[in-house]
Amino acid sequence: MQEVEIWVMANSDGEYESAGEESVAQERFEENCSTEGGRRLFKITLKVPLPEVVEIEGEVPDTVGMPVLTAK
C-alpha cells in the first residue's frame, strides 16, 4: 500500500485547487479561483494499492467531525 497525501482548497462556489503540498494548493487557489466568500482547506490522506484505480466518495460535514469516505 502507498500512502498519498492530497491538499484541497475549495470555496463556497464549488471552485477548488489541489496539490500534494499545502502551500501549492493554496497558491493555485489564489491564482485560479475566486477569493470572495468562504473557503476551506482539506487534507486527505489515503493508503491505496498503486497503480490500481479506486473511486472514493465522501461528504465533509459543516460541523467539526471526521468525514466518512467510502471506496467503490
**pLDDT tens by residue, 3-28:** 889 999 999 899 999 999 999 999 99
User: Can you give the pLDDT at residue 19?
Assistant: 97
Instruction: Count CB neighbours of 7 within 10 A.
Output: 20
Is the pLDDT assigned to residue 70 strictly greater than 70? no
Q: How many whole angstroms separate alpha carbon 67 and alpha carbon 33?
A: 24
User: Can you give the pLDDT at residue 72?
Assistant: 59
Is the pLDDT assigned to residue 62 strictly greater than 80? no
Question: What average pLDDT is seen over the chain?
Answer: 85
User: Can you give the pLDDT at residue 57?
Assistant: 80
- Three-class HEC string of 13-69: CCCEEEECCHHHHHHHHHHHCCCCCCEEEEEEEEEECCCCCCCEEEECCCCCCCCEE
